[in-house]
């Protein structure tokens, strides 16, 4: 459970994720086992969700499954997103130009949350999903978020926190990370080379719009990205420039 999380909310999310993992109706006992929720508590939650129309019951076998209600609710919420809907066509264009996975993210506390992911065109590609959280110090969008900070604040943040190794390539030395972020800011884009996911290289940049700082990354396997980082960076920077103007209007 994440620090500061609310148990009841965690449990509802756990139930939906259990259905996602199983891909089939689940009995109350199976739900309780899959989520680690006490059966009596799970029963109360399931009764509430059923009464609200988010689950329906099956008699043979005796099980439950989500209705389409959550999908419809979340789709309507997503349609009102202030950034994703406008950004997605440009992200898709960037994906087509680079053929690699393109990600839109934003800083959330001491991490990056992925807001949109446009999968690359290759069978072997970097895969991720909206809602995933990544460390600031080891991810390309995370470095872009750090690069958006003023230098004193950047140094203070890095020096005040541990920089754990996510992979053997993660930069864990504060001075080295500060130096790389500052150098990358001058170049206009930020890189990771297997620092967050083994054998995945990425390039990212940030844009500031509507008092928010967003990051966009292009990520793919090292064997393709190694010779294409600069080309991907050029396409990325051009896309960020267009998107920044588009979101300001």
pLDDT in tens, 89-98: 999 999 999 9
Q: Over the chain (249 residues), what is each successive 10-residue block's mean pLDDT? A: 72 95 95 96 95 92 93 88 89 98 96 97 96 96 97 96 96 97 97 97 94 95 96 97 86
What pLDDT, on the 0 to 100 scale, is given for residue 81? Answer: 82
Strands 190-193 and 111-118: unpaired
SS (H, E, C) the chain: CCCCCCHHHHHHHHHHHHHHHHCCCECHHHHHHHHCCCHHHHHHHHHHHHHCCCEEEECCCCEEEECCHHHHHHHHHHHCCCCHHHHHHHHHHHHHHHCCEEEEEEEECCEEEEEEEECCCCCCCCCCCCCCEEECCCCHHHHHHHHCCCHHHHHHHHHCCCCCCCCCCCCCCHHHHHHHHHHHHHHCCEEEECCCCCCEEEEEEEEEECCEEEEEEEEEEHHHHCCCHHHHHHHHHHHHHHHHHHHHC
pTM for this structure? 0.84
Fold classified for 7-72 = Arc Repressor Mutant, subunit A (1.10.10)
pLDDT at 157: 96
Q: How far apart are CA 197 and CA 131, in angstroms?
A: 17
Q: Where are the domains of the chain?
A: 7-72, 81-248
Euclidean distance between CA atoms 177 and 20, whole angstroms: 38
Query: For the stretch 92-112, what's the b/e string if a residue is b when 16 or more beta carbons lie within 10 angstroms of its beta carbon?
Result: eebbebbebbbbbbbbeeeeb
Place of tokens 């690069």: 147
Q: What is the pLDDT of residue 83?
A: 84
Top-tier CATH class for 81-248 = alpha beta
Are 83 and 247 a contacting pair, CB within 8 Å?
A: yes
């Amino acid at each position: 459970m994440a620090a500061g999380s609310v148990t009841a909310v965690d449990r509802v999310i756990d139930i939906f994720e259990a259905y996602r993992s199983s891909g089939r109706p689940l009995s109350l006992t199976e739900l309780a086992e899959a989520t680690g929720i006490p059966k009596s508590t799970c029963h109360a939650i399931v009764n509430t969700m059923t009464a609200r129309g988010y689950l329906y019951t099956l008699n043979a076998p005796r099980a439950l499954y989500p209705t389409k209600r959550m999908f419809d609710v979340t789709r309507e919420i997503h349609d009102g997103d202030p950034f994703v809907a406008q950004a997605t066509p440009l992200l898709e264009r960037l994906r087509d130009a680079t053929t690699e996975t393109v990600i839109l993210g934003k800083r959330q506390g001491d991490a990056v949350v992925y807001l949109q992911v446009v999968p690359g065109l290759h069978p072997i590609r970097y895969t991720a999903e909206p809602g995933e959280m990544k460390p600031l110090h080891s991810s390309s969008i995370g470095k872009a978020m750090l690069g958006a900070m003023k230098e004193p604040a950047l140094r203070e943040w890095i020096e005040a926190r541990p920089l754990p190794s996510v992979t053997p390539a993660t930069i864990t030395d504060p001075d080295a990370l500060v130096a790389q972020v500052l150098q990358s800011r001058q170049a206009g884009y930020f890189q990771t080379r297997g620092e967050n996911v083994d054998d995945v290289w990425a390039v990212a940049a940030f844009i500031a719009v509507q008092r928010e700082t967003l990051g966009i990354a292009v990520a793919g396997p090292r064997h393709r990205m190694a010779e294409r980082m600069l080309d991907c960076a050029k396409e990325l920077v051009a896309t960020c420039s267009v998107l920044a103007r588009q979101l300001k209007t």
